[in-house]
């Protein structure tokens, strides 16, 4: 079947999405702005990092795009059962760490990967990491994602939600990173359809997150909530440095370190053997993370 899709089309979309998301986030923040930082990768390609620090709502956030190519490192080639041959990859990756503990952290990543032998696929996903869990926020987030999935394949939300729960899981802690979302990889064949799905996920990002931000950003918090937020951010760091495929890929392909580690929060805390008070909202969150839920009917 003849397809109209091209890697250039994907790259243009990710760049346009970056601009659109940053504009929406700046409006939501009301004070902070994104610093734009272009970079080049030794070996081929580069990207644009856009980072906000010390905003009114977002303590730190980054929205990065990249377009890289060259020879696939042997370590990555073995991992995906490929030979160390030429590759091309383009995508967008973002993480937002809010200042207020009642507002959840969010992550999203969308990417297109192409090998010299002609094989190609899409991957990505998005997940929500609250410090205090509000059912209506999780339901809203998952409902937006399910609607995007249903427009592509009514069976995909259930599959990608389960994949997300399995992927964003800290095995050494026995905890999910957050309340999940969707995660997918190696979407091969029919690139037109898969690209429309990826665009749907990207286009829905602001709608999935900003209503939650608006509901929670004005809530009062104190030292207790802030301390808990910093502890939970520690779990976020653990996942990104131990398990995250994007971090590994970026480092092993000589990507720009500052852009790769943009996902890490500005402040974090590890307290030895910290245990929340019985019956507290902090303990409630841990119970949810230890037993992932179905937030909406699939």
pLDDT in tens, 157-178: 999 999 999 999 999 999 999 9
Write down the pLDDT at residue 13: 98
Span between the terminal Cα atoms of the chain, in Å:
32
- Structure tokens, 233: 């951010």
For residue 64, count other CB atoms closer than 10 A to its CB.
27
Structure tokens at 19: 């601009």
> Residue 10 burial by CB count (10 A; 0-12/13-18/19+): exposed, middle or buried?
buried
pLDDT at 247 over 90: no
Compute CA distances 106 → 58, 119, 199, 253, whole Å: 11, 31, 18, 25
Is the pLDDT at 1 greater than 50? The verdict is no
Q: What is the largest CA-CA distance in the chain?
A: 60
Rounded Cα distance between 22 and 51, Å, is: 9
Per-residue pLDDT band for 231 (boundaries 50, 70, 90) equals very high
Average pLDDT over residues 226-247: 93
Say if residue 298's pLDDT is above 70.
Answer: no
Mean pLDDT of 264-280: 95
Residue 239 has pLDDT above 80, yes or no: yes
CB burial string 235-255: b at 16+ within 10 A, e below: bbebbbeebbebbbbbeebeb
pLDDT digits (tens, 9 = 90+) for 25-84: 999 999 999 999 999 988 899 999 999 999 999 999 999 999 999 988 777 777 766 667
Q: Of the candidates 208, 54, 69, which has an alpha carbon nearest to the alpha carbon of residue 127?
A: 208
What is the overall mean pLDDT for the chain? 93
Residue 21, pLDDT > 60, answer yes
Q: What is the DSSP letter of 273?
A: T
Which amino acids are annotated catalytic? 107
Domain ranges of the chain: 7-290
Query: Tell me, what's the pLDDT at 2?
Result: 47
Residue of 56 and 86 predicted with greater confidence = 56
- Closest by CA to 286, choosing from 141, 123, 175, is 175
**What was the pLDDT predicted at 3?**
55
Determine the average pLDDT of the residues in 208-214.
98
Instruction: Give pLDDT, residue 34.
Output: 97
Helices 135-152 and 191-203 pack at an angle, to 10 degrees, of 160
**Domain 7-290 is of which CATH architecture?**
3-Layer(aba) Sandwich (3.40)
């Amino acid at each position: 079947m003849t397809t109209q899709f091209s890697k250039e089309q994907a790259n243009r979309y990710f760049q346009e999405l970056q601009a659109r998301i940053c504009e929406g986030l700046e409006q939501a923040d009301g004070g902070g702005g994104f610093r734009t930082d272009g970079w080049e990768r030794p070996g081929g390609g580069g990207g644009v990092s856009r980072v906000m620090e010390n905003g009114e709502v977002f303590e730190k956030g980054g929205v990065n795009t990249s377009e890289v190519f060259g020879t696939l490192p042997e370590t990555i080639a073995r991992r995906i059962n490929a030979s160390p041959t030429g590759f091309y990859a383009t995508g967008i990756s973002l993480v937002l760490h809010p200042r207020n503990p009642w507002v959840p952290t969010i992550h999203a990543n969308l990417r297109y990967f192409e090998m010299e032998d002609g094989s190609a696929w899409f991957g990505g996903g998005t997940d929500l990491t609250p410090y205090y869990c509000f059912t209506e926020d999780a339901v809203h987030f998952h409902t937006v994602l399910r609607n995007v999935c249903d427009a592509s394949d009514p069976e995909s939300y259930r599959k990608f939600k389960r994949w997300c729960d399995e992927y964003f899981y800290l095995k050494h802690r026995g905890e999910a990173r957050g309340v999940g979302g969707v995660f997918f990889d190696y979407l091969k064949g029919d690139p037109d359809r898969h690209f429309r799905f990826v665009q749907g996920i990207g286009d829905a990002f602001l709608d999935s997150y900003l209503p939650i931000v608006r509901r929670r950003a004005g809530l009062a918090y104190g030292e207790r909530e802030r301390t808990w937020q910093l502890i939970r951010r520690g779990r976020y760091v653990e996942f990104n440095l131990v398990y995250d495929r994007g971090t590994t890929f970026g480092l092993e392909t000589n990507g720009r370190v500052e852009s790769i580690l943009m996902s890490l929060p500005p402040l974090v805390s590890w307290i030895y053997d910290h245990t929340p008070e019985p019956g507290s909202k902090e303990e409630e969150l841990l119970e949810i993370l230890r037993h992932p839920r179905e937030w909406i009917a699939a």
